[in-house]
Amino acid sequence: MTILPINPAANANPDALRAFLGQAREAAVRAGRSKLVSISLAVDALDPLAVLESIFEPGEPHFYTERPDIGSAIAGAETAVAFEAHGLGRFEAVQRWIDDTLEHTIAVGDVNAPFGGPHFFTSFAFNDDVEASEVFPAARVFVPRWQVARAGEITTAVANLVVAPDADLAALTERVWRAHAKFVNFEYHEKSPVEAPASSLSVFRISEAGNYRGAVAQAVARIEAGEFEKIVLARALDLTADQPLHPLRVLNILRQRFPECYAFSMANGRGQSFIGASPERLVRVSKGVLETEALAGSIRRGAGASEDAALAATLVRSEKDRREHEHVLAAISGRLAQLGLKLEFATQPGLRRLANVQHLHTPIRAALPENVRLLAALAALHPTPAVGGAPLAAAMAGIRGLEGFPRGLYAGALGWINARGGGEFFVGLRSALVDGASARVYAGAGIVAGSTPEKEFAETELKFKAMLEALRT
312 and 367 housed in the same domain: yes
232 and 119 housed in the same domain: no
pLDDT of residue 194: 61
466 and 363 housed in the same domain: yes
267 and 152 housed in the same domain: no
324 and 227 housed in the same domain: yes
Total residue count of the chain as it appears in this document = 473
- The backbone torsions φ and ψ at residue 102, rounded to the nearest 5 degrees and listed phi first, read -65, -30
252 and 386 housed in the same domain: yes
pLDDT of residue 196: 54
Q: Is residue 95 part of a domain?
A: yes
In the chain (473 residues long), the average pLDDT of successive 10-residue segments reads: 77 83 94 95 87 89 93 95 97 98 94 93 98 96 96 92 94 84 68 56 76 96 95 95 90 91 95 94 94 90 93 92 88 92 93 88 93 96 90 93 96 97 95 95 92 94 89 83
358 and 258 housed in the same domain: yes
pLDDT of residue 197: 54
Q: Is residue 103 part of a domain?
A: yes
Q: Is residue 196 part of a domain?
A: no
pLDDT of residue 264: 97
179 and 207 housed in the same domain: no
pLDDT of residue 427: 96
31 and 164 housed in the same domain: yes
138 and 212 housed in the same domain: no
Q: Is residue 135 part of a domain?
A: yes
CB under 8 Å to 200, separation ≥6 — which residues? 472, 473
Q: Identify the domain containing residue 151 by its residue range.
A: 2-184
65 and 162 housed in the same domain: yes
Q: Which of 184, 215, 244 is the last residue of a domain?
A: 184
Q: Position 168: which residue type?
A: D
pLDDT of residue 318: 92
pLDDT of residue 199: 52
pLDDT of residue 202: 57
Q: Is residue 192 part of a domain?
A: no
Instruction: Please state the domain count of the chain.
Output: 2
- Contact criterion met (CB below 8 Å) for 217 and 453: yes
79 and 111 housed in the same domain: yes
- Contact criterion met (CB below 8 Å) for 115 and 74: yes
Q: Is residue 195 part of a domain?
A: no
pLDDT of residue 331: 87
**Which residues participate in catalysis according to the annotation?**
230, 280
pLDDT of residue 175: 85
Q: Which of 154, 184, 214 is the last residue of a domain?
A: 184
pTM score: 0.92
pLDDT of residue 195: 61
